[in-house]
Amino acid sequence: MSEKFNEIPMAGNILKPGNATEYKTGGWRAERPIHTDETCLWIKNGTCGRCWIFCPDNAVRLIEKEGKYSYAYDYDYCKGCGICANECPTKSIRMEGE
Partner 1 sequence: MATKSKTPKHPVDIEGLTGDAAIAVALRQCDVDVVSAYPITPQTIIVEDFQKFAANGETHTKVIPVESEHSALSACIGASAVGARVATTTASAGFALMWEVLYCAASMRMPIVLAVANRALSAPINIHNDWSDSYGGRDSGFIQVYCQSCQEAYDTTIMAFRVAEDRQVLLPIMVCIDGFILSHNVERVEMLPDETVKKFVGVREPFQNLDPDNPITLGPLCLTDYYFEFKEQEDRAIRAVPEVYKRVEAEYEKLTGRSYGLLEKYKTDDAEIIIFTHSSPAGTAKAVTDVLREKGEKVGVLRLKMFRPFPTDAVREAVKNAKAVVVFEKCMSFGAPCNPLALELRTALYEAERRPLVADFVIGLGGRDVPPETIVQGIEKTKDYLKKGKAPMYETLGVRK
Q: Given the rule CB under 8 A, which residues bind partner 1?
A: 1, 3-6, 8-17
Nearer to partner 1 by C-beta: 15 or 68?
15
Distance CA 96, CA 77 (A): 17
In angstroms, what is the minimal distance from the CB of 20 to partner 1? Answer: 9
In angstroms, what is the minimal distance from the CB of 6 to partner 1? Answer: 7
Q: Is residue 57 within 8 Å of residue 25, measured between CB atoms?
A: yes
Nearer to partner 1 by C-beta: 27 or 46?
27
Distance CA 55, CA 59 (A): 7
> What three-state secondary structure class fits 6?
helix
Nearer to partner 1 by C-beta: 5 or 65?
5
Q: Is residue 78 within 8 Å of residue 30, measured between CB atoms?
A: no
